[in-house]
Chain A
Amino acid sequence: MGPAGAEVVLTVERLQAYYQVSSFGIEREVRAVDGVSLTIRPSEIYGLAGESSCGKTTLVKAITAAIRPPLRVLGGSVTYRFRDRQVNLYDLDATSLAEIRWRHLSYIMQGSMSVLNPLRRVRSSFVDFAFHHIGKPMTKFIGIVEAHLERLHLEPSVLDAYPHELSGGMRQRVTIALATVCRPDFIAADEPTTALDVVVQKSVLAMIRETQRQIGASMMFVTHDMAVHANLSDRLGIMYAGRLVEEGTTAEVFRRPAHPYTAHLIASLPRIGDTEAREGLGGTPPSLADPPPGCRFHPRCPLAMDACRREIPEMAWISETHRVACFAAAGAAA
Chain B
Amino acid sequence: MRAYSLYLFRRLTQFVLVVFIGMNIAYAVTHSTPIDPVEQTISAATSFGSTSPDVIAKMRQSLRELYGLQGSPWQQYAAFWKRVAAGDFGPSLSAFPTPVSELIARAIPWTAGLLTVSTLLSWALGNLLGGLAGYYRQSSLLRVAGVVAMGLHPIPYYIVAFALLIVFGFVWPVLPITGGAEMNLAPGFGIAFVESVVVHSILPVASLVLVGLGGWFMGMRSLVSNIVSEDYVIYAELAGVDRRRILISYVMRNALVPQVTGLAMSLGAIFNGAIITEQVFGYPGIGSLLVGAVHAGDYSLLLGITAVSIVAVSAAVLLIDLLYPLLDPRVKIG
- Using CB atoms and an 8 Å cutoff, list the residues of chain A in contact with chain B: 64, 66, 97-102, 106-107, 109, 111-120, 124, 128-129, 162, 164
A106 touching B239, Cβ below 8 Å? yes
Q: Report if A117-B249 is in contact (Cβ < 8 Å); known contacts: A101-B239, A129-B236, A162-B329.
A: yes
B328 CB to closest chain A CB (Å) equals: 7
A201 CB to closest chain B CB (Å) equals: 20
Interface range for B: 20 to 34
Which residues from chain A contact B257 at a C-beta distance below 8 Å?
Answer: 119
Question: In the bound complex, how far is the Cα of B249 from the Cα of A99, in angstroms?
Answer: 20
A114 touching B230, Cβ below 8 Å? yes
A128 touching B232, Cβ below 8 Å? no
B329 touching A115, Cβ below 8 Å? no
Give which listed residue, A113, A129, A164, contacts B239 with CB less than 8 A.
A129
- Using CB atoms and an 8 Å cutoff, list the residues of chain B in contact with chain A: 230-232, 234-236, 238-242, 245, 249-250, 253-254, 257, 327-330
B253 touching A128, Cβ below 8 Å? no
Give which listed residue, A97, A111, A117, A119, contacts B240 with CB less than 8 A.
A97
Q: Report if A118-B239 is in contact (Cβ < 8 Å); known contacts: A66-B234, A111-B231.
A: no
B236 touching A117, Cβ below 8 Å? yes
A128 touching B236, Cβ below 8 Å? yes
Q: Report if A117-B232 is in contact (Cβ < 8 Å); known contacts: A101-B238, A102-B239, A107-B238.
A: yes
Chain A residue nearest in CB terms to B230? A114
B233 CB to closest chain A CB (Å) equals: 9
Q: A99, A117, A162 — which one has the most chain B CB atoms within 10 A of its CB?
A: A117
Which residues from chain B contact A117 at a C-beta distance below 8 Å?
Answer: 232, 236, 249-250, 253-254
Question: In the bound complex, how far is the Cα of B329 from the Cα of A152, in angstroms?
Answer: 27
Which residues from chain B contact A164 at a C-beta distance below 8 Å?
Answer: 329-330
A115 touching B249, Cβ below 8 Å? no
A119 touching B235, Cβ below 8 Å? no
Q: Report if A118-B235 is in contact (Cβ < 8 Å); known contacts: A128-B245, A129-B241.
A: no
A267 CB to closest chain B CB (Å) equals: 36
A68 CB to closest chain B CB (Å) equals: 8
Which residues from chain B contact A109 at a C-beta distance below 8 Å?
Answer: 231, 234-235, 238
Chain B residue nearest in CB terms to A130? B239
Give which listed residue, B231, B232, B240, B245, contacts A102 with CB less than 8 A.
B240
- 17 A-B residue contacts at CB 8 Å? A98-B242, A101-B238, A107-B239, A109-B234, A109-B238, A114-B232, A116-B232, A116-B235, A118-B329, A119-B253, A119-B254, A119-B327, A119-B329, A120-B249, A129-B240, A129-B241, A164-B330
A128 touching B249, Cβ below 8 Å? yes
Give which listed residue, A64, A120, A128, contacts B238 with CB less than 8 A.
A64
A94 CB to closest chain B CB (Å) equals: 9
Closest 5 CB pairs of A and B: A101-B240, A98-B240, A115-B235, A129-B239, A114-B231
